[in-house]
Chain A
Amino acid sequence: MIAVYDLVQQYAGRVVLDIPELHFEPGRRYGIIGENGSGKTTLIRLLGGTIKATSGRIEGFEGKKLGYLPQSPYAFSFSVLENVALALDGQSDAKQLAQKALESVGMENLLKARGDRLSGGEAQRMALARVLVRSYDILLLDEPTSSTDVRSMDLIETTLRDYVRNTGCALIFSTHSPAQALRLAEEVLYLEKGWLVEQGPAEELFNSPKDERTRAFLGHWRLNS
């Protein structure tokens, strides 16, 4: 189990994230929702270890394999297949596994295309395949489908459900789409201005939010969708 205690992140003296306590169980899917600047990316990056917290503790990562997909992943200037095989560096069956991972995100027709020449959505799917080609205990995805079209999104969500089922990993993803959180996550966390306002099973949080701020956010989303 991953546990977060008194996690605080400040930038230039301004608190951008303050989470007293949080737990993540293996084999479950967690979706983080909230408006821009709510702290979603900061939380993912802190969990991924790419930034260091101002204060607080994150426990449960020792000896665990961690996979992380940043919001703007880099597309290398070699082929899509090689971009994905990069994550399996030195493995004899790297290319076969990479091809399989690319098929799982609907990119089997672009194996030989250059990574840096893909469209935004294609590059995002390639980067996701590059992460999914390996097995992790904890998988962190920062807005993995923000540039993806609707048809690919369905495929990716199915792939992610299968991945969690097969590996037993804890999937923690952020999304700007509450609808995606409802579809994909078993548990949803709602952040606002760096605070964890509410956390609970997806259906429960969406149907009967306990906090007024969560109600307002979801109400606004329903009005606009």
Chain B
Amino acid sequence: MVKQVLELLFGADPELRQIIGVTLRMSVLSTLISTLLGIPWGVAMGANQFRGKAILSRITNTLMGLPPVVAGLIVFLILSRSGPLGKMGLLYSVSAMVIAQVVLISPIIAGMTANIVSLRAPSINETCAGIGISGSKRLWLTIKECRIPFVTTALAGFGRSIAEVGAVQMVGGNIQFKTRVMTTAIMMQTNMGRFELAIALGVILLIISFIINSLVHRIQEQTQRDSGL
């Protein structure tokens, strides 16, 4: 079995390459969209005091813990033929999987961003107010000071995205050469007793996860060095 796994890992199996391609496309795209949505959402929550902040914060925290199958169910119902966006015919496509991932990851990125910003914003706001800097310039300075933790947040979102199985299975359908990703393929191959491909995919997932964690670790180390901690 080891030989077969190695052949799959270092060979040119078209299905394996296709699965990796779909997985990376889905994860990168959903992370990008979630970052574009989650960071402004988190900055708005973390940098400002406004009416309704407490309830928005509670909703965000609830969505951060949204079970993937629930997210999958919501997106499935919206995209299914009788749903509000059924006419677009997105169900069982990579786009549907990206939408489900965005529903799951955006609140996580928003919540993490809000925490990062709220640690710095009070001091930045008070300092800026003291020297007459307000509005967009103050906000820009806050974002600039948080840029490195933001990258860590986006990478954490990517890690969450690539490991997701429940929601993408529901809205993607695990269709061969179309919507099959590494996690859904591992689950299916294991159920079928074909462990070689499952193990090969598991190894690749672990390698990707290791690379992401190394990047996060390196950024955190760099941040600590830069701030003299």
Contact = CB atoms under 8 A, between A and B. Distances in A.
Interface of A: 48-50, 65, 67-70, 72-74, 76-77, 86-87, 89, 114, 116-117, 127, 130-131, 134, 140
B90 to A, nearest CB: 43
Interface of B: 120, 123-124, 126-127, 129-133, 137, 141, 144-145, 226-228
Nearest to A87: B131
Nearest to A116: B227
B217 to A, nearest CB: 20
Given A50-B129, A70-B130, A86-B131, A77 B123 contact: no
A49 B132 CA distance: 12
Contacts of A86: 131, 133, 141
A67 B129 CA distance: 8
A89 B130 contact: no
A89 to B, nearest CB: 7
A76 B227 contact: no
Nearest to A114: B226
Contacts of B131: 67-68, 86-87, 130-131, 134
B133 A73 contact: no
Nearest to B120: A74
Q: Chain A contact residues: over half helix, strand or loop, or mixed?
A: mixed
Contacts of A89: 133, 137
B227 A117 contact: yes
B123 A117 contact: no
27 contacts: A48-B129, A49-B129, A67-B131, A67-B132, A68-B129, A68-B131, A69-B130, A70-B126, A70-B127, A70-B130, A72-B123, A73-B123, A73-B126, A73-B127, A74-B120, A74-B123, A74-B124, A74-B145, A77-B226, A86-B141, A89-B133, A114-B226, A116-B228, A117-B227, A131-B131, A134-B131, A134-B132
Given A76-B141, A130-B131, 9 more contacts: A49-B129, A65-B132, A70-B130, A73-B123, A77-B226, A86-B131, A86-B133, A117-B226, A140-B130
